[in-house]
Amino acid sequence: MKAEIIFTGTELLLGQILNTNAQYLQQTLAALGIDLYFQVTVGDNLERLKEAISQAAKRAGLVIIGGGLGPTEDDLSREALSRAIGVPLEENSKARVITERFFKTRGIAMPSNNLRQAQAPVGSVILDNPVGTAPGLAVENEAVLYVLVPGPPNEFREMVTNQVLPLLREKTGPRATVIKSRVLKLCGISESRVDEMVGPLLHSSNPTLAPTAKFSEIHLRITSKAPDSEKADRMNGEMESKVRDLLGNYIYGSDEETLPEAVGRLLESKNLTLALAEISSGGYLSHMVTSYPGCSGYFKFAVVSGIEGLEELLSVKITGPESAARILAGAVREKAGADIGIALAGGSKTLCPPGSDLTIATSFMEKTLSKKIPVPRSGAAEFRQMAAQLCLVLLWHTLKKM
């Protein structure tokens, strides 16, 4: 079965709301083996929404519309679907009970405009909404199944899980397939180099292998389609083995694993402690390092300040921005009594330069190494994140070689 998703709401197009419903629904459809080729977002406009539904019906046998089921004039999903499939709306008694129930159980008088939510195309199956006022609905027309689900995330997930999912399982039947993915996470290598090294594998059709450039990382998504979950896992595992043979030195983790977690596990396994001095990252590196739950075992000390403040705190004299990171890495290691001292400075005495060369220094066993990295000009927040991320990348590779 092929599906298309339509999300409605001008606030989505304006970026005022993050569409967390999309990822949840995508994962749900993949677990059922339902192919999703298009996802569309439409503003609160009746004609454009109607057109989007009509277009989707030409490409898919399942069209799911999220949002637009509220009681106000800009909630247009019911009317747009009615016009797109040529089936009139009528008041549905089951839908009215669901809407009225919300107010009755709370002892609140129901505004008259909420009766709009009891409207549904003739012949619809009504989907219960135990946490809101908007019933969902499903209706089949000319071999296409249309499903309407309310937009608020708590209502959306409740209805998809308990109403839509059983309906789709019934439609897909016992011969349904599953789609499962696994993501390998790499650092310290460019996207073009990854593409060059795994080139032939990128042409595989099942499983597929697809690279995505992230912030100072490359993610490789392996996706298999199979009759059952166990076989999909085996297929993903076989592709993963091939990728690891080629890129194993750059793979720090998989799926939900983060770079701070990978660095933390290495520090734990090697029984090493860490201290930090930050000039240019505003404490972002400390934030990332301490995001790993086991950090209390290896995180000793961190100082975040401008050059003058760090000179006083660590009792050192910095002669210039080029030498700042090297001097501070050794000083913070000694101050904390840690095994490893790391410092990063951005070629400026300010905490958050708008863009600069970044110098990262590592002090370990009386030896100090430093690396200068050009960082693209960006805003202060992006610069801090980039600086901290690059530091973790270098630390991970350094620890792997110890």
β-strands 299-304, 274-278 pairing: parallel
Residue 320's pLDDT is 67
Residue 12's pLDDT is 93
Residue 359's pLDDT is 84
Q: 77-85 vs 46-59: helix axis angle to the nearest 10?
A: 50
Residue 352's pLDDT is 41
Residue 394's pLDDT is 87
What is the maximum alpha-carbon separation in the chain?
80
Token look-up 């637009």 returns: 68
Residue 350's pLDDT is 47
Residue 161's pLDDT is 94
What's the rounded Cα separation, in Å, for the pair 360 and 280? 11
Structure tokens at 9: 């709401």
| Identity at 374, one-letter amino acid code | P
Q: What is the mean pLDDT of each run of 10 residues along the chain (402 residues)?
A: 95 91 91 91 96 97 96 94 97 96 93 94 96 95 97 95 92 76 93 92 93 87 91 96 96 94 95 91 90 92 84 82 82 93 72 61 84 69 80 89 82
Residue 130's pLDDT is 94
CATH architecture of 259-401: Alpha-Beta Complex (3.90)
Fold that domain 178-254 belongs to in CATH: Alpha-Beta Plaits (3.30.70)
Please write down the HEC assignment for all residues of the chain.
Answer: CEEEEEEECHHHHCCCCCCHHHHHHHHHHHHCCCEEEEEEEECCCHHHHHHHHHHHHHHCCEEEEECCCCCCCCCCHHHHHHHHHCCCEEECHHHHHHHHHHHHCCCCCCCHHHHHHHEEECCCEEECCCCCCCCEEEEEECCEEEEEECCCHHHHHHHHHHHHHHHHHHHHCCCCCEEEEEEEEEECCCHHHHHHHCHHHHHCCCCEEEEEEECCEEEEEEEEEECCHHHHHHHHHHHHHHHHHHHHHHEEEECCCCHHHHHHHHHHHCCCCEEEEECCCCCHHHHHHCCCHHHHHCEEEEEECCHHHHHHHHCCCCCCHHHHHHHHHHHHHHHHCCCEEEEEECCCCCCCCCCCEEEEEEEECCEEEEEEEECCCCCHHHHHHHHHHHHHHHHHHHHHHC
- Within a 13 Å sphere around the CA of 166, how many CA atoms are in the beta-carbon half? 6
What's the rounded Cα separation, in Å, for the pair 314 and 327? 10
Residue 375's pLDDT is 64
Task: Indicate the domain borders of the chain.
Answer: 2-172, 178-254, 259-401
Q: Which residues contact 82 (CB under 8 A, 6 or more apart)?
A: 88, 89, 121
Structure tokens at 380: 């202060």
Fold that domain 2-172 belongs to in CATH: Molybdenum Cofactor Biosythetic Enzyme; Chain A (3.40.980)
